[in-house]
Amino acid sequence: MNAESWTAGEFEDRLRAVPAERYHHRHPFNLRMHAGELKPDEVRGWILNRFHYQRHIPVKDALVLAKLPTPELRRVWIRRIQDHDGRRAGEGGIERWLRLGEAAGLDRETLLSGQGVLPGVRLAVEGYVTLCRLGTPVEAVAASLTELFAPGLMRTRIDAFERHYGWIEPEGLRYFRDRVTQGRRDGGEALALVLDWARDRAAQDSAVAALAYKCDVLWALLDAVDREYG
Ligand SMILES: O=C(O)c1cc(C(=O)O)c2c(n1)C(=O)C(=O)c1cc(C(=O)O)[nH]c1-2
């Protein structure tokens, strides 16, 4: 017999429990970052490797976009690509991440070259893109639900950078400030879609599994960085 589906409330609790337990806010590298224990080269190594994740976010969002069946849904989702790529040159999240790199002493040519991106980071990012390429719409959207937890982490990170890493120009933190509101909005929109679409238990289970996988992607990325620079 098929397992019974969860009510919307139960399903939301199940989804939220995943990142509560295994989101990367608990990763040792992030804990050391927040405690002010990272040396400049470790912070730079993280910024450089995280850029590989950042530049693939709009790629995976284009794959998600192609799975959405209506103009209404695509109009909502396309904004994520614009948030990262900008509507014109010199704008958007990728540009702001390049400025974060510059504020920390990394030139943009180095970041754009991809040199120094660790194999484990490449594989983790590839895993997320592949999930969004091959997964169902519910899985691809559910994987983004780590963003329900990202705004809290952004605020912790901004505080930590202001307190402990004053050698990074404050303007470089603009990326994180913008993500507090963008992440909250994106997380809310994605949650509404997943709750609406995943009505039977198989779809609900696959959404929870996709979100757990995404947590593993973020965790594996930091494992690679921690091992190299830590
Ligand atoms: O710095 C972070 O800890 C963090 C985490 C996440 C996340 O939870 O996936 C994202 C971001 N940042 C981020 O900047 C971002 O644009 C983003 C998009 C997505 C997504 O899955 O669609 N996650 C995240």
Asked if residue 142 belongs to a domain, the reply is yes
Q: Using alpha carbons only, how large is the chain's radius of gyration in Å? A: 18
pLDDT tier for residue 86 given thresholds of 50, 70 and 90: very high
Range of the structural domain that residue 97 is part of: 8-229
Asked if residue 1 belongs to a domain, the reply is no
Asked if residue 1 has pLDDT above 70, the reply is no
Task: Quote the pLDDT of residue 179.
Answer: 93
Which residue's CA is minimally distant from atom 9 of ligand 1?
146
Asked if residue 2 belongs to a domain, the reply is no
User: Which residue among 27, 57, 182, 214 has the greatest number of ligand 1 atoms within 8 angstroms of its CB, and so is best to mutate?
Assistant: 57
Q: What length is written for the chain?
A: 230
ipTM of the complex: 0.91
Asked if residue 3 belongs to a domain, the reply is no
Q: Residues with Cβ < 8 Å from 10, sequence gap 6 or more? A: none
Which residue's CA is minimally distant from atom 20 of ligand 1?
144
Report d(CA 6, CA 19) in Å as an integer.
19
Asked if residue 38 belongs to a domain, the reply is yes
Task: Quote the pLDDT of residue 7.
Answer: 96
Per-residue pLDDT tens for 62-80? Answer: 999 999 999 999 999 999 9
- Structurally, the chain folds into a number of domains equal to 1
Task: Quote the pLDDT of residue 114.
Answer: 97
State the distance from the centre of ligand 1 to the C-alpha of 2, rounded, in angstroms: 34
